[in-house]
Structure 1
Amino acid sequence: MKLDNIIAERINKTIYRDGNKCIKIFDESYSKADVLNEALNHARVEETGLNIPELSEVTRINGKWAIVSQFIEGENLADLIAADPAKYDEYLNMFVDLQLEIQSKRSPLLSQLKDKMNRKIDLTDLDETTKYDLHTRLTSAPDHSKLCHGDYNTSNIIITPDGTPYVLDWAHATQGNASADAARTYLLFCLSGNIAGADKYLDLFCQKSGTAKKYVQSWMPIVAASQSVKKNCKEKEILLRWVNVVDYE
């Protein structure tokens, strides 16, 4: 495999293109278990029939773990929005419709979203009283089994030349409550500084899914806490502000 065409660089990983292959190489700090779990999540989501790149192999390249999958030719939805802001509403509708299609699927062998969030809450620097409150809220939330992406944002959508959308990056996929996944997407908009876009997204999601906005908002402190364990000090500070938000207008 040729590794002379870098198409993206992320924390702890570099992504290359070699013809019709996409090669994601993880650095030495990334555990074997996490790499294999990401590949397993991807394979399980493939079985739902959604448009996602086909996984071809998990291997080692120059001593580093790598996941090789199909390269999807097309444009990133985030770039399309930036290039043509006049089509923002059209693209946002597509974005929400695609999320609802994802959430209509089931993948019963994926990890439970609640279990993952409970583990992450335990890893936070929050005081024990706050952790207890978050665990209690999470336990009392309804149990669902919908497919949740876990990092659903416009950068993870590729639109092919014929207009077909493909969803990338299933490392964080779980099964659980769709409103928790919507809360995560809302917070991703906020973390990017697009507060107006976050509000517009949430209104549209709730309208199309028939979900009360207050119900999605009730997940935000829980989701924010579970995401605050990531090693991003700026994001952590913003997310922890959400943890203490209890009531919404």
Structure 2
Amino acid sequence: MKLENVITSRSHKMIYQSGDTIIKLFDENYPKSDVLNEALNQSRVEETGLNIPNIIEVSKIDGKWAITMEHIEGKTLAELMKENPKDIDKYLEQFVSLQVEIHSKRAPLLNRQKDKFIRKIKDLKDIDASTRYELLTRLDGMPKHSKVCHGDFNPSNIIVSNKGSYIIDWSHATQGNSSADAARTYLLFALQNEDLAKKYMKLFCKKSDIALQYVQNWLPIVAATQLGKENPSEKEFLTKWLDIFEYQ
């Protein structure tokens, strides 16, 4: 099978459009278990009734694992925000409403967020054992929830079409605490635009009726898990959030 229409290139994968489908093609050395887990995550989220692209098949193309799903025609919310800055408040409202809708769903077979966070914090090599211990202690004390959490919710993962808004890229999906999911979204915004991040946080807390301080308590934990990606451009920014006493 010859793939030519490249939509985007990401770490360890290429995204192609082929007719009315999208094909996510992974590198040869990408773990099979991660590919199958991503497809399983998305399939489980499909069952909640959320507006997401349906998976069509998991296969191998030229010796590489691939996930094929339906193509949604439209622009990402990130593109619309960039093209229409005067409408940023409207788009942010739409963005937060979608996130709150995600958190209203349940998918009991998804991996547990807290288990994933524990693994990521334990694997961190750039922070000392005492800091890891304090982060794990804080994590252990946080309330255990079972809400669907996207894990990488940002405007580039929303496609706005004439049929509505579709949420894509469910590779990091878990069931857990919605405030942890919001803390991650806040950090993703803050890496680009701190003012927009603050506006997002305020709107999320209002729409979800969750105290700002409660979401902030997740920031050190979530920043630590993001450090595990070992992105040099993010390291300094994320490290400053590791002061686990900042919001106590």
TM-score range, shorter chain: over 0.9
**Match of 1:146?**
147
Tell me if 1:198 matches 2:197: yes
Matches within 5 A, 1:123-134: 123-125=123-125, 126-134=127-135
TM-score by length of 1: 0.97
Structure 1 segments (4+ residues) deviating >3 Å: none
Tell me if 1:231 matches 2:246: no
Percent sequence identity is: 57
Partner Cα separation in structure 1 for residue 211 and residue 230 of structure 2: 32
**Match of 1:16?**
16
Partner Cα separation in structure 1 for residue 59 and residue 34 of structure 2: 14
Paired amino acid for 1:199 = K
Partner Cα separation in structure 1 for residue 162 and residue 244 of structure 2: 43
**Match of 1:159?**
160
Q: Deviations over 1:28-75 (max 9, x none)?
A: 231001000000000000000000000011111111111000000011
Aligned length: 247
For the 8 Å contact 1:2–1:18, the answer to whether it is kept is no
**Match of 1:212?**
211
Deviates more, 1:214-223 or 1:239-248: 239-248
**Match of 2:78?**
78
For the 8 Å contact 1:149–1:181, the answer to whether it is kept is yes
Partner Cα separation in structure 2 for residue 129 and residue 248 of structure 1: 18
**Match of 1:88?**
88
Partner Cα separation in structure 2 for residue 237 and residue 194 of structure 1: 16
3-state secondary structure, aligned to 1:169: coil
For the 8 Å contact 1:229–1:236, the answer to whether it is kept is no
3-state secondary structure, aligned to 2:102: helix
For the 8 Å contact 1:230–1:236, the answer to whether it is kept is no
- CA offset at residue 231 of structure 1? 3.1
For the 8 Å contact 2:150–2:173, the answer to whether it is kept is yes
- CA offset at residue 119 of structure 1? 0.3
Partner Cα separation in structure 2 for residue 242 and residue 62 of structure 1: 43
After superposition, the CA RMSD in angstroms is 1.1
TM-score by length of 2: 0.97
For the 8 Å contact 1:180–1:223, the answer to whether it is kept is yes
3-state secondary structure, aligned to 1:231: coil
Name stretches of at least 5 consecutive residues in structure 2 with no aligned partner: none
**Match of 2:40?**
40
- CA offset at residue 239 of structure 1? 1.1
3-state secondary structure, aligned to 1:81: helix
Partner Cα separation in structure 1 for residue 80 and residue 154 of structure 2: 13
